[in-house]
Amino acid sequence: MITLTHVGKQYGRIHTALADVSFHIDAGEFIFLTGPSGAGKSTLLKLLFREQVPSTGEIRVAGHRLASMPDKEIAVLRRKMGVVFQDFKLIRTMTVFENVAFVLKILGVSHAEQKQRTFRALKMVGLQHKLASYPMQLSGGEQQRVAIARALVNDPLVLVADEPTGNLDPDLAQEIMTLFERINGQGTTVLVATHDRNLIQRMRKRLIGLDHGRVAFDYPAATSTVVLGPPAEASRPVDGPRL
């Protein structure tokens, strides 16, 4: 589903955001991506939905080769992906319904189908009763759910989320992750960038860690013991990640 092969991203001559990043994600996996601020997480996500292109290496997502992708194929790629941003990126002058239906409208989906699919996406996140509300009338958790509904309305193969719980309290954060698990259970590949070590420890998903633009660790799901630090020696068993 997602493969990165020796991917690097350079800004100018002196700033290296990513260096020699390689990993593979199978269809239907749930992955956490973690690492300190400046490790390259947001850059990596931008490369995945082709907001940016890598300086070196190759990225494949859902059968598309992103580094050499013609501009006309970008829209095709993004129809297969849903993206959730930390700051929601909702349009304040649009209702909840209009925000979620916006993607479908751009794609030329009929109004009748827009209504059906938008209501279904809002029902999935428990906000079908808020479709006539405006973003500023909603709580932070509700705004995040609208952003998730917008990402899901086109039935994506891949859901990418950048710090989706960063502005939420622990209970709301857990609700959002439970929703992501349900989406993943329906077959969608989910990749979540997060600093939230409590969520990572509770959910026991595969964990990829970045540090200074490189893959620092890649731990499988259901690690038996999670500690906040990688093994000091390569010969020691992997106990858990540094967050």
CA proximity to 240, closest of 204, 31, 228: 228
pLDDT at 175: 85
What range defines the domain where residue 40 resides?
Answer: 1-80+156-243
Instruction: Specify the pLDDT at position 219.
Output: 94
* Residue 13: both structure tokens together: 């001559």
Report the C-alpha gap between 160 and 153 in whole angstroms: 14
Single residue among 137, 155, 173 that ends a domain in this structure: 155
Q: Which residues contact 15 (CB under 8 A, 6 or more apart)?
A: none
- The CATH number that applies at residue 2 is 3.40.50.300
Q: Region 121-146: what's the mean pLDDT?
A: 92
Looking at per-residue pLDDT, the higher value among 3 and 195 belongs to 3
pLDDT, average across residues 47-61: 94
Mean pLDDT of the chain: 87
pLDDT > 70 in the chain, percent: 91
Query: What is the pLDDT confidence band of residue 223, given thresholds at 50, 70 and 90?
Result: low
d(CA 102, CA 7): 32
- E strand or H helix at 161, and its extent? strand 158-162
135 assigned to some structural domain: yes
Cβ burial, residue 211 (10 Å; 0-12/13-18/19+): middle
Closest by alpha carbon to 27, among 219, 184, 152, 189?
189
Question: Helix H segments across 95-169?
Answer: 96-106, 111-124, 140-152
SS3 4: strand
pLDDT value, residue 144: 87
In a domain, 147, yes or no: yes
Looking at the structure, tell me whether residues 228 and 190 fall in a common domain. yes
Residue 181 is assigned to a structural domain of this protein: yes
Instruction: Please check whether residue 86 lies inside any domain of the structure.
Output: no
How far apart are alpha carbons 154 and 168 in whole angstroms? 25
CA atoms within a 13 Å half-sphere pointing along the CA-CB vector of 189? 16
For the chain, helix, strand, coil in percent to 5 are 35, 25, 40
Asked which of 124, 155, 186 is the last residue of a domain, the reply is: 155
Residue-wise pLDDT for 153-182, tens only, equals 988 999 999 988 877 778 888 888 888 999
Tens digit of each residue's pLDDT (9 = 90 or more) over 67-121:
888 888 888 898 899 999 877 889 999 999 999 999 898 888 899 999 999 999 9
pLDDT above 90 for 229 = no
Note the pLDDT of residue 169.
79
Domain boundary among 139, 155, 171: 155
pTM for the structure as a whole: 0.85
Q: Quick one: 12 and 68 in the same domain?
A: yes
pLDDT band at 230 (very low <50, low <70, confident <90, very high): very low
**Better-predicted residue by pLDDT, 197 or 242:** 197
pLDDT of residue 164: 86
Helix (H) or strand (E) holding 159: strand 158-162
pLDDT at residue 14, as a whole number: 81
Q: Examine residue 12 and state whether it is found in any structural domain, yes or no.
A: yes
pLDDT value at residue 107: 82
Same-domain status, 69 and 37: yes
* Tally of domains in the chain: 2
Question: Does residue 85 lie within any of the structural domains?
Answer: no
Q: Are 7 and 22 in contact (CB under 8 A)?
A: yes
